[in-house]
């Protein structure tokens, strides 16, 4: 069995996230404490108790998801005695999950990852006034017809494919009116269903350029070292280990397409047959079979998940 560790993106957060890990492992409590200290914020209390409306805010959800993901990997390493390179040949993360992957692989310090994600969330929120942008999921359509629908729907505004998640699930992002037009244009190209998503900003499209500029400046001041296992980057759908190249990909990722389907397929060509989702939720492990029926997805969310995994690892 050849594995990659993958890390979820925004939308997987939920009140109570990480509670059972913190209850079972000092290692998890230490991670959450370090993130709280880095942010000067009691984020772990918000994760534990809510309110959901505050946890869902981009600037809170992003570091919270990263904290739980890193806690899972550190538990495997410290409590399970299994170093990451012995468990996985690659790491990859969906959008913000790329920062989780880099922190888990030792390329980014945990405190730096937390602060960068806080800034990333704030910058993304500020980039476009609330109500101006939107995102929609198109179901039953592949990347190229979705891109054609976006071209037809733009009409002087911005709308672009934000995520190619695989299994006929494509997410588009941009000006609200253009996104609504893209849903209709996609239906004419065979899309079975289009639905607006409950997000606060149009992520992964050119409207996010102010946030990309903010991340470029912030990343210049952060130390980044080669990850212990290679990162499969969202915007490349290929591996990257050079710190300078990783920083550039993180900047491009703010406005660029998350090429998740292609990234998973790239890992398959490198012999990966199992994707292990570390953190909160089961979105990425659920997508695996839709991308490639020969691959397996596994989610490590709870202490029992971790204990069962360690018995086979």
Tell me which residues are annotated as active site.
95, 204
Q: What would the DSSP string read from start to end of 53-82?
A: HHHTSHHHHHHHHHHHHHHHHHIIIIIT--
Q: Could you tell me the end-to-end alpha-carbon distance of the chain, in angstroms, rounded to an integer?
A: 9
Give the closest residue to 228 by CA, choosing from 113, 34, 68, 86. Answer: 86
In what order do the strands lie in the sheet containing 3-7? 238-240, 231-233, 90-93, 3-7, 274-278, 296-300
In this structure, is the dihedral angle defined by the CA atoms of residues 45, 47, 49 and 50, taken in order, positive or negative?
Answer: positive
* SS3 of residue 146 by DSSP: helix
Q: How many CA atoms lie within 13 A of 218 on its CB side?
A: 20
* Gap between the Cα atoms of 122 and 160, Å rounded: 22
Q: Nearest-5° angle of CA 142, CA 165, CA 230?
A: 130
Calpha distance 121→11 (Å, rounded): 13
Q: What are phi and psi of 31, to 5 degrees?
A: -60, -50
Cis peptide before 51 (omega within 30 of 0): yes
């Amino acid at each position: 069995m050849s594995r990659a560790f993958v890390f979820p993106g925004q939308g997987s957060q939920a009140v109570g996230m990480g509670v059972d890990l913190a209850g079972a492992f000092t290692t998890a409590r230490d991670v959450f404490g370090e993130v709280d200290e880095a942010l000067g914020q009691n984020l772990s209390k918000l994760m534990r108790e809510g309110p959901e409306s505050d946890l869902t805010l981009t600037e809170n959800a992003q570091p919270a998801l990263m904290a739980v993901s890193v806690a899972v990997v550190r538990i495997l390493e410290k409590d399970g005695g299994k170093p990451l390179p012995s468990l996985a040949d690659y790491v990859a993360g969906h959008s913000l999950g790329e920062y989780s992957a880099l922190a888990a692989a030792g390329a980014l310090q945990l405190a730096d990852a937390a602060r960068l994600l806080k800034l990333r969330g704030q910058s993304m929120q500020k980039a476009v006034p609330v109500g101006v942008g939107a995102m929609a999921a198109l179901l039953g359509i592949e990347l190229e017809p979705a891109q054609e629908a976006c071209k037809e729907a733009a009409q002087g505004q911005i709308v672009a494919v934000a995520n190619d998640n695989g299994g006929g699930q494509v997410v588009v992002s941009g000006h609200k009116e253009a996104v609504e037009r893209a849903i209709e244009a996609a239906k004419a190209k065979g899309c079975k269903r289009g639905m607006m998503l409950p997000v606060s900003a149009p992520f992964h499209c050119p409207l996010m350029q102010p946030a990309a500029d903010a991340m470029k400046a912030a990343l210049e001041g952060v130390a980044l070292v080669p990850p212990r296992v290679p990162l499969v980057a969202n915007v490349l759908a290929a591996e990257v280990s050079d710190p300078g190249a990783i920083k550039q990909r993180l900047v491009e990722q703010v406005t660029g397409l998350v090429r998740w389907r292609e990234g998973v397929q790239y890992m398959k060509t490198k012999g990966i047959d199992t994707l292990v989702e570390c953190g909160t939720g089961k979105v990425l492990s659920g997508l695996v079979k839709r991308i490639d029926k020969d691959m397996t997805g596994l989610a490590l969310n709870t202490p029992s998940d971790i204990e069962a995994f360690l018995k086979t690892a």
